[in-house]
Amino acid sequence: MPEGYSSSDRSMGQIQTRFLVQQRERIISMNANFIKYIIKICKEDKGTRAELRRADKGANSWRGLSIVVSFGENIINKDKRMIYSLIISSIARSGIDSDGGSTLGGAFKKLKANGNISNNSAELRLRRLLSCRSTSEVLRVLQKSMSILESNSDIKYSALLHDLLNFDTDRQEQIKTVWAQDFYK
C-alpha cells in the first residue's frame, strides 16, 4: 500500500484521489522551487539575467534549458521546452522579486482594473487563450500577451508553469475554467 495510506481506506477511488492530490502538491512545490531559483539567479547575476531574457528565442534557449535539466526535467518534448523557455524569459524580463499571486485570468483582470489594458482587450486576449486546444497553440497566443503581463501584473509563474505543463492532459478544461473564473469574479 502506498505511503500514508491505511487499510481503513475502503475504496480504490479514495486511494487514487489521495495519491493524485499528493502528487499534484509535490509537482507544484517543485515548480515553485524552480521559479524561486530563476528569480534568485536573475537578481544576483545581471549577465545571466540578460541571457535568460532571450531564452525564448531559438538559439538562446540553451542557457535556460540547462537550468531546467539541472532540476531533473526531461526536455525532449518541444512544447515542454517552449513552456520552460517562455517562463524563464518572462521572469528575467519582468525583474520580479518573488512569484506573484494571480492565475492567468487574474493577471488579465488586474491589468484591466489598473487601466493598463482596456476591458475589451483583456477579455479578447483571455477568450483567445480559452479557445486554444493544444499547448503549442496556447504558447503562440500567450507569447503575444507576455510583454504586458510581465510589466503590469502579479502573475504567479509557478501556477502558470503547472497549467501549461498540464494543458494537453485531461485537465485542460479545468485549467481554462480557473482562468475564466479568476477573470470574471
Residues 81 and 108: their CA atoms lie apart, in Å, by 25
The model's pTM? 0.83
Domain limits, the chain = 14-184
Q: Going residue by residue through the chain (185 aa), what tens digit of pLDDT does each one get?
A: 455 545 554 566 677 666 665 666 666 677 889 999 999 999 999 999 999 998 888 677 777 888 999 888 888 998 999 999 999 999 999 989 999 989 999 999 998 888 878 878 899 999 999 999 999 999 999 999 998 898 777 899 999 999 999 999 899 999 999 999 999 98
- Between the alpha carbon of residue 50 and those of residues 21, 61, 67, 88, 102, the distances in Å are 37, 12, 15, 11, 25
What CATH architecture does domain 14-184 belong to? Orthogonal Bundle (1.10)
